[in-house]
Structure 1
Amino acid sequence: MELIVIAKPILFKEESNLINQLFEAGLQVFHLRKENVDEADYRKIIEEIPAEYHPRIALHHFHSLANDYDIHRIHHTESFRKESNNGSLPENKIYSTSIHHLADIEQIGQYDYSFFSPVFNSFSKPGYQGVIPVDFRLEKQDAKPKIIALGGIGLNQIDQVKEMNFDGIALLGSIWNDPSQALLTFKKAQAKCRAYSQNLTRQT
């Protein structure tokens, strides 16, 4: 099961330090998404991360920065995707997007993976309520795109997400609501995801 971390929407002190600690602990994909910041802020964050980790960063904004750094991942918001009429995507990048209705899976076949949210009540957005029933199970016809569960996922929800048949989870509020525990929370989530993947390997 894949494990992705999404940046806290606002800038905060020691952020790059914590991001680097997550990468050092084995984080494979980090989505850089910020609200109301400019390109200079994005550059500052990227440049405070060692170059060896740049290929693990996915850009939500200022996509042209991928050309200045060794960044291979581009994220298209739902609104961007719809405005661009789902055109074909270049093959030299890994592309992701977001959906909020499962019926939209049929419209995103050109993407490598997509977030689906909110699965549970959001930790980072009070009042943002989960939209799927407890006994939900994801049924997909094709292996691509992978569907990543997002919204209200903490350590206590990971096992439930596994049973729902998602391809992975994305953590946001559970990581950043208490930055002092970010690394520990990540490591615990990582262990749960690895254990699940190992069980699947044994079964096959």
Structure 2
Amino acid sequence: MELIVIAKPTVFKEESNLVNQLFEAGLQVFHLRKENADEAAYRKIIEGISPEYHPQIALHHFHSLANDYDINRIHHTESFRKEINNGSLPENKIYSTSIHHLADIGQIGQYDYSFFSPVFNSFSKPGYQGVIPADFRLDKQQVKPKIIALGGIGLNEIDRIKAMNFDGLALLGSIWNDPSQAIITFKKAQAKCQAYAQNLTIQT
């Protein structure tokens, strides 16, 4: 099961250092999303992250920065995706997007993966309520795009995400609400996801 970390919505001190530690601990993909940050703030965060990890960063804004920092992951927000009318995408990048209605899965086949949210009540956005019933199971016919669960996911929810048949999960509030525990929380989540992957390998 894939494990992604999304940036805290606001800029904070020591962020790049913590992201480096997450990568060192085995993080595969970090989504840089700062809705109210300018391009200079994006550059500062990226430049604080070791260049060896830049290909593992996904940009939500200021996509042109990808050419300056060897970044090959681009995220299209739902509104941006609709702006470009779900058009075809260049083949030299890894593209992700977001959906909030499962009926939209059929419209995003050109993307490599998509977040679906909110699955549970959000940790980072008070009042942002989950939309998935307790007995939900994702019925996905196609391999692409992978569907990544987002919203209100902590260590206690990982088993439920697996039972719901998602391809992976993204952590946000459970990582950044207490930065002092970010690495510990990530490693525990990583161990759970790796255990599921190993079981899947054995079964096949």
Q: TM-score range by the shorter chain?
A: over 0.9
Partner-residue secondary structure (3-state), 1:104: helix
- Residue 154 of structure 1 and its aligned partner are, at CA, apart by 0.1
Give the ranges of 4+ consecutive aligned residues of structure 1 lying more than 3 Å apart after TM superposition: none
| Map of 1:177 onto structure 2 | 177
Are 1:122 and 2:117 an aligned pair?
Answer: no
Matched to 1:34, the amino acid is K
- Residue 13 of structure 1 and its aligned partner are, at CA, apart by 1.1
| Map of 1:139 onto structure 2 | 139
Cα deviations across residues 122-171 of structure 1 (Å, max 9, x unaligned)?
00000000001011000111100000000000000000100000000000
Alignment of 1:29-40 (within 5 A): 29-40=29-40
| Map of 2:100 onto structure 1 | 100
Structure 2 unaligned residues grouped into runs of 5+: none
Structure 1 unaligned residues grouped into runs of 5+: none
CA distance in structure 1 between the aligned counterparts of 2:10 and 2:183, rounded to whole angstroms? 18
CA distance in structure 1 between the aligned counterparts of 2:37 and 2:30, rounded to whole angstroms? 18
Partner-residue secondary structure (3-state), 2:36: coil
CA distance in structure 2 between the aligned counterparts of 1:189 and 1:95, rounded to whole angstroms? 24
Are 1:16 and 2:16 an aligned pair?
Answer: yes
Cα deviations across residues 95-134 of structure 1 (Å, max 9, x unaligned)?
0000000000000000000000000000000000000101
CA distance in structure 2 between the aligned counterparts of 1:65 and 1:162, rounded to whole angstroms? 34
| Map of 1:28 onto structure 2 | 28
- Residue 36 of structure 1 and its aligned partner are, at CA, apart by 1.1
- TM-score for both structures, normalised by structure 2: 0.99
CA distance in structure 2 between the aligned counterparts of 1:59 and 1:72, rounded to whole angstroms? 9
Partner-residue secondary structure (3-state), 1:91: coil
CA distance in structure 1 between the aligned counterparts of 2:192 and 2:118, rounded to whole angstroms? 21
CA distance in structure 2 between the aligned counterparts of 1:151 and 1:44, rounded to whole angstroms? 27
Identity rate, percent: 87
Matched to 1:199, the amino acid is N
CA distance in structure 2 between the aligned counterparts of 1:186 and 1:57, rounded to whole angstroms? 17
- Residue 35 of structure 1 and its aligned partner are, at CA, apart by 2.2
Cα deviations across residues 161-203 of structure 1 (Å, max 9, x unaligned)?
0000000000000000000000000000000000000000000
CA distance in structure 1 between the aligned counterparts of 2:105 and 2:82, rounded to whole angstroms? 13
CA distance in structure 2 between the aligned counterparts of 1:37 and 1:130, rounded to whole angstroms? 27
CA distance in structure 2 between the aligned counterparts of 1:47 and 1:23, rounded to whole angstroms? 15
CA distance in structure 2 between the aligned counterparts of 1:150 and 1:105, rounded to whole angstroms? 15
Matched to 2:129, the amino acid is Q
- Residue 67 of structure 1 and its aligned partner are, at CA, apart by 0.5
| Map of 1:193 onto structure 2 | 193
CA distance in structure 2 between the aligned counterparts of 1:3 and 1:141, rounded to whole angstroms? 22
CA distance in structure 1 between the aligned counterparts of 2:15 and 2:169, rounded to whole angstroms? 21
Matched to 1:22, the amino acid is L
Matched to 1:168, the amino acid is G
Matched to 1:129, the amino acid is Q
- TM-score for both structures, normalised by structure 1: 0.99
Q: Would you say how many aligned residue pairs link Structure 1 and Structure 2?
A: 204
Cα deviations across residues 28-63 of structure 1 (Å, max 9, x unaligned)?
000000021110100010011111000000000000
